[in-house]
Structure 1
Amino acid sequence: MKQPMSERAADWLVKIAAGGLVAMTAVIGWQVFGRFVLDSSPSWSEQTALVLMIWYVFLAAAAGVWERFHIRIELLERRFSRHGTRRLRIGIHVLIAVFGLIFAIYGAMLAWEVRIHVIPSLGISRLFAYLPIPFAGLLMTLFSIARIRVRLAEEHS
């Protein structure tokens, strides 16, 4: 059976985020090796690890909206009927969509403001470090809308 586009996108985001985690681990490993074995840490390693972490955290957070692997408290859900639980979950996804839009708008503004600043040890625009914020915000909004559509389809079936 063909996967929905949201599911495929979330799968790719998780894979890219996992790759970022592996890359960050390798960079930190190289930094530790350089510091304690070679007695000379590479100047680029700390900022590279930080940029990688920003990217993989935001990409994984966006995927988590679709995959539903974020922490949630089910105590409130258990107090509602099945219909009430669906309405609660739809309401939660509306809030997540709104927060995603806030990330998208204000993250884009932040990225634009810092575009002329350079990360000294990497020689790249700071825009690159903040770009995942609006991107992930947009994806969170789209994934939330898709989850709302799934919930509404369940309600009508």
Structure 2
Amino acid sequence: MKRGLADRAADWLAKLGAAGLLAMTAVVGWQVFGRYVLDSSPSWSEQTAMLLMIWYVFLAAAAGVWERFHIRIELLEQVMSPAHRRLLRIVIHVLIFFFGLVFCFYGTLLVWDVREHVIPSLGISRGWAYAVIPFAGLVMAIFSLGRIRVRLAEGKAR
């Protein structure tokens, strides 16, 4: 089966998220080793781990909109007719679309507001920590529109 652009983009986002999780685990491991074995914890490790966590969570969350691996309760869906289930899923993606736009808008404001703040242990703008939020919000909105399109096409196929 041919994979579309959204499939490949979501796959890359999930892989970047997984790489961020691995990198954060290595940084925290180094911090623990430094603290308990070397008796000197690296000053940069805590803020680096936090930055990586923000990035991998938002990248994975964006991928999850397309890949549909977010937690959901399917009990309501199971008692609905297929047409109502399809409508419910469209409404859910409309909500996700708007939440994505909120992330995009307010994430951009957050990055702008903290752009001059420096993370002391890293020497970079605090804005870099949050730059993923508007990006992920935009991707969530785009993926939601794609899912809505898929659901609408399901209705036309019947």
Shorter chain as denominator, the TM-score bin is over 0.9
Match of 2:21, SS state, is helix
Corresponding position: 1:10 with 2:10: yes
1:52 aligns with 2:82: no
State the AA in 2 paired with 1:33: F
Listed as ranges, the matches of 1:28-67 within 5 Å are 28-67=28-67
RMSD: 0.6
Q: TM-score, normalised by structure 2?
A: 0.98
Deviation of the 1:66 alpha carbon: 0.4
Within 2, Cα distance between the matches of 1:13 and 1:144? 15
Q: Name the count of aligned residue pairs.
A: 157
Counterpart-to-counterpart distance in 2, 1:27 and 1:72: 32
Runs of 4+ in 1 over 4 A off after TM superposition: none
TM-score by length of 1: 0.99
1:72-83 to 2 correspondences below 5 Å = 72-83=72-83
5 Å matches for 1:97-136?
97-136=97-136
The 5 Å alignment of 1:82-101 reads 82-101=82-101
Instruction: Flag structure 2 segments of 5+ consecutive residues without an equivalent.
Output: none
How far off is 1:2 after superposition?
2.5
Rounded to whole Å, the distance in 2 between the matches of 1:121 and 1:139 is: 30
Equivalent-residue separation in structure 1 for 2:5 and 2:94 (angstroms) = 20
Match of 2:27 in 1: 27
Q: Any stretches of 5+ residues in structure 1 without a counterpart?
A: none
Cα drift, residue 124 of structure 1: 0.2
Cα distance in 1 for partners of 2:78, 2:119 equals 48
